[in-house]
Structure 1
């Protein structure tokens, strides 16, 4: 059987988001800022018995990697993250993606409200 770890590590069969051309060599824009839709993205097709939980976990990992703890100052990134998930996945999964995203945003907003309330209490 093939060594899947070696195949994955070689990245020969996994492609990042489209570049500036159809060339097989990598193309980068100068001073490109890391975001969910450019370099470093690897889409892997997989079966999931619980797509909602898998999408939610994946989005949470992306958000945590950026150390995002509030939604207000990060709407552009969150919107881009949602757009990326929708663009990279088939339509039949979009309901799971939007539900997971909405739950994450609500959690971020609630944690901000709780922190704000605690700050007000401690200042009185």
Structure 2
């Protein structure tokens, strides 16, 4: 790294590693018992979110467009809650008994949908017009 800037190949490798990490997070939810379709929907939302951001930046959008509620820290927290909840209270969530992984996968889908809508709005606002 020279001058505080990453090389272009490093940026590509970083983006790919991020997507692999997202797949692994969904895989953890799947192993904890979340429905496969919900895990697939959660990953699809992440991939759409990041693809939209990448294409918008390639089209001239400055920066990330918007930091949404669906960014990586939220996904990590949801999976951590599922893992910790399943370990501490294996009978399910308090009061409802719902499966921790399913609840967190559903949360990921909701947050992902809201975050994607937020990003779409930012892209429409920030991508330069011809």
Instruction: Tell which has more relative contact order, 1 or 2 (C-alpha 8 A, sep 6+).
Output: 2
Q: Which has the higher helix share?
A: 2
TM-score between both structures, scaled by the size of structure 2: 0.30
TM-score between both structures, scaled by the size of structure 1: 0.31
